[in-house]
Amino acid sequence: METRATCPYCGVGCGVLIEHDGGRIHSVRGDPEHPANFGRLCTKGSTLHLTARPETRLLYPELRSVRGEPRRRVGWDEAIGSAAERFADVIARHGPDAVAFYISGQLLTEDYYVFNKAMKGLIGSNNVDTNSRLCMSSAVAAYKQTLGADAPPCAYEDFAHADCLLIAGANPAYAHPVAFRRIEDAKKARPGMKIIVVDPRRTDTASAADLHLAVLPGTDIWLYDAMLHVLLAEDLVDHAFVAAHTTGFDALREHVRTVTPEAAAQVCGVPAADIVTAARWWGGSPAAMSLWCQGLNQSAHGTHNGTALIALSLATGKIGRPGCGPFSLTGQPNAMGGREVGGLANLLPAHRDLGNPEHRAEVARLWVVDSVPEKPGLTAVELFRAAAEGKVKAIWIACTNPAQSLPELEVVREALQRCEFVVLQEAYRSTETAVFADLMLPAATWGEKEGTVTNSERRITHVNRALPPPGEARPDWRIVCDFARALGPLIGRPEAQCMFGYERVEAIFAEHAVSTAGRDLDITGLDYALLDAAGPQQWPFPAGADAADAAGRARLYADGRFATADGRARFVVPVHATTVERVDARYPLHLNSGRLRDQWHGMSRTGKVARLYSHVDEARIELHADDLAENGVASGDLVKVASRRGEIVLRAVASGEVRRGQAFVAMHWGRNVLNSGGVNVLTAGDFDPYSKQPELKHAAIRIDRIDLP
Ligand code: SF4
């Protein structure tokens, strides 16, 4: 039999059909009816069935009472009871801000919703943040600063209508492969379409472009400002659109007056003529859209990277029409769903803002609680720094692996050591974070749980359960609700029984949908039955909307009215800054990190599939051949790679993709693969002031050859 679900990897959100016998998954195939992929899957998605291996799973709760001792198997009642007692004890001694949840863009929307409600509505703290902070929070801040709402205004079908596609800080050929196939199809169908790629590396995506701008790390803003300079100089700005639908253009025009292509070329390290060409292609194309991801987001000025790019769409009126608009790709399968339910330290459900008293009151009414705390919670890097300083004393981690994926890993490890109580809710037995867990709770995973996800183009899919979870594993939402009901009476909140009394997961979705009434993402017209009958739907989908009529949903702002108070989009004058950490004589190389084609995140899942190593089979650092020679290293030698924070050992290989002075290491390899740890031993925790997203894309490093005896 076949069960409909989605791929649990990237934000493309491909539909999959799981072929199974009710006890074992036999194969997967792309869902031909899913609008994200129309039957296609990439190498990762098409091998999903090979990841369903019970021997790698955490099958029952494990608890230890004393640090350093092995965990012992316990029943669910003891596990949940112990967690509730330990959290209640910390809250009683130190207050609610001494506990925290750190969750994941791989959870389903319903899981996210109850985690958020448990921390903000029950415990009384806003300390709930997510690994999505590392992924797209700069794009969220950029959308809100310019368009007024966290709403990607485009759809994948726009690729087929674009005359010019500017791909910035993204490598969809590897990271969003099925979306990239759609871009390739669009180019084949319309060979005149211009593809511009902005990326320090010559990735597979860059190789397929008509123009590759290999900017130096951290210099993107100069490039987009210089493009705007050219658009103004060559009268390619849509002045009527700017006058009717935007504010702040005069200040930005003044700001870019001196940012000539020649000036930007000096900073960005690309030819001035190429900047002019890019601007002319953009401005001269009837339809142009941008596509961006971590290369812009994972920066200490990631928000302004985004606003500078969005300004190109606004200045030329290329938004709200087919083939137009600024389109942020999400890295994870449900980062969008997490944003929708407000599962971050500074947000509230349905895109409400924590800093808005009316929004807090609305959410308190929805949850039937007296109030929602006003003080912003700790964001990812802040949270682990606070734990390392002893300010956060109990942490609950779900479906993510911070001991590999966060920057400044030594701080993260110190934090997890210092916490009095660490809970890890996880599907897999062995992750870097599991070493630190006092309580491990077995969670259901892909193919074993029901709920919804939202992909990069705002499309909500109902995912179904093919099999029961193995052993004693349970769905994430149920674990959270059991914990909340156990904790409530211990902290004087007996109403938790009612607040978390959901009997079915769909009841959580229904409450989430109610929370969106009248908001930009209104989905009051959606329920599981409609999603099953009519297929995945883009939001907004208010009550009464017709699933057969996608007009007004595929792309937003078609009427020129934006989600700001006055309905006008805003131009933002960006700060000109490069990377926080500078290269110098001791650390002369820029380290960049990113994805491989066939691996996903920390490899808990893809690392179990032998064939996914056929593309790249071991951890390595890629450098320009001249940099290898200058350091006395031959391609294939082992090298010690050091930053100001730590060092790891890798095999060095010469690569034609990397410019002189730069290096690349894939993000996936961790302590399980390399004895010395992964790339985040090297990275720093500097973050963007608006989004709090850390600068994972850069660290200053040096390499030293290791002479084996
Ligand atoms: Fe999964 Fe993304 Fe590949 Fe689609 S493109 S199959 S969502 S990894």
Contact 333, 6 (CB under 8 A): yes
pLDDT tens, position by position, 182-241 = 999 999 999 999 999 999 999 999 999 999 999 999 999 999 999 999 999 999 999 999
Does domain 589-705 fall under CATH 2.40.40.20? My reply is: yes
Class of CATH domain 137-329: alpha beta
DSSP run (H or E) holding 425 = strand 421-426
Confirm or reject: Cβ of 42 under 6 Å from ligand 1. yes
Q: Domain ranges in the chain? A: 2-52, 62-66+74-135+334-538, 137-329, 589-705
Residue 37 C-alpha to ligand 1 middle, in angstroms? 9
Looking at residue 672, its pLDDT comes to 53
Backbone angles phi, psi at 425, to 5 degrees: -100, 110
DSSP run (H or E) holding 305 = helix 302-315
Looking at residue 605, its pLDDT comes to 87
Mutate which of 42, 48, 336, 668 to test ligand 1's pocket (most atoms within 8 Å of Cβ)? Answer: 42
Mutate which of 44, 47, 597, 609 to test ligand 1's pocket (most atoms within 8 Å of Cβ)? Answer: 44
Protein residue with its CA nearest to atom 4 in ligand 1 = 14
Residue 266 C-alpha to ligand 1 middle, in angstroms? 38
Protein residue with its CA nearest to atom 2 in ligand 1 = 10
Confirm or reject: Cβ of 181 under 6 Å from ligand 1. no
Contact 578, 645 (CB under 8 A): no
pLDDT tens, position by position, 469-482 = 999 999 999 999 99
Rounded CA separation 641/346 (Å): 36
Residue 14 C-alpha to ligand 1 middle, in angstroms? 6
Rounded CA separation 338/332 (Å): 10
User: pLDDT band at residue 422, thresholds of 50, 70 and 90?
Assistant: very high
At the topology level, CATH places domain 2-52 in: N-terminal domain of TfIIb (2.20.25)
Residue 540 C-alpha to ligand 1 middle, in angstroms? 24
Amino acid in position 93? R
Q: Do domains 2-52 and 137-329 have the same CATH topology?
A: no
Confirm or reject: Cβ of 12 under 6 Å from ligand 1. yes
ipTM, 2 dp: 1.00
User: pLDDT band at residue 258, thresholds of 50, 70 and 90?
Assistant: very high
Mean pLDDT, residues 592-615 taken together? 90
User: pLDDT band at residue 675, thresholds of 50, 70 and 90?
Assistant: low
Backbone angles phi, psi at 315, to 5 degrees: -65, -25
At the topology level, CATH places domain 62-66+74-135+334-538 in: Rossmann fold (3.40.50)
Residue 313 C-alpha to ligand 1 middle, in angstroms? 28
DSSP run (H or E) holding 640 = strand 638-642
User: pLDDT band at residue 273, thresholds of 50, 70 and 90?
Assistant: very high
